[in-house]
Amino acid sequence: MIKIIIFCLTALILVVFLRQIKPEYSLIATVTAGAAVLIYLAVELYTPLLKILDRLNSYGISNSLTAYILKAMGICLITKFGAELCTDFGQSSLASKVELAGKTAVFILSLPLIEEILNTGINLL
């Protein structure tokens, strides 16, 4: 995590410097730094997530349920990144729209789970 903090602080200095000289390049630097951090975190999380999936499979929990949870987490992370990026550049209205889109995507993703829960409840009755 120290690597990420050092990288972000370096990117921050670069962005502040670019904002004074070429403001249009500061946007590119911010987006690039954020994307680099997300990619780094995805690579770092890959192995632990595989271990968790293997453990859940050994307990008999289906991969489809786990996939829904992981997809929802991914949507939340990307949505938060996009909304904060919009806020950083003074577009709070656009940030709220990004958050709404993320919430809608998670809701749509959860519909099959809700249907499965309802079917299970009906079968128990």
Question: 28 lies in which domain range?
Answer: 1-61
In this prediction, residue 26 carries a pLDDT of 86
Instruction: Compute the average pLDDT of residues 62-84.
Output: 86
Instruction: Compute the average pLDDT of residues 69-73.
Output: 87
Same domain for 115 and 81, yes or no, is yes
> Cα 19 from chain centroid?
27
Same domain for 78 and 48, yes or no, is no
Query: Which alpha helices (H) appear in the chain, and where do they start and end?
Result: 2-21, 23-58, 63-88, 92-124
Share of the chain above pLDDT 90, in %: 30
Same domain for 19 and 1, yes or no, is yes
- Please name the residue that has the structure tokens 């128990």: 124
Same domain for 114 and 79, yes or no, is yes
Instruction: Compute the average pLDDT of residues 62-78.
Output: 84
Q: pLDDT band at residue 67, thresholds of 50, 70 and 90?
A: confident
Same domain for 50 and 78, yes or no, is no
In this prediction, residue 38 carries a pLDDT of 87
- pLDDT greater at residue 84 or residue 57: 84
Instruction: Compute the average pLDDT of residues 23-35.
Output: 88
How many domains does the chain fold into? 2
Same domain for 83 and 102, yes or no, is yes
Read off the pTM. Answer: 0.71
Same domain for 66 and 124, yes or no, is yes
Q: What is the pLDDT of residues 80-111, one digit of tens each?
A: 989 988 888 888 999 999 999 999 999 999 89
pLDDT at 35 over 80: yes
**How far is the C-alpha of 71 from the C-alpha of 57, rounded, in Å?**
17
Same domain for 118 and 66, yes or no, is yes
Same domain for 31 and 89, yes or no, is no
Is-contact 57 63, C-beta < 8 A?
yes
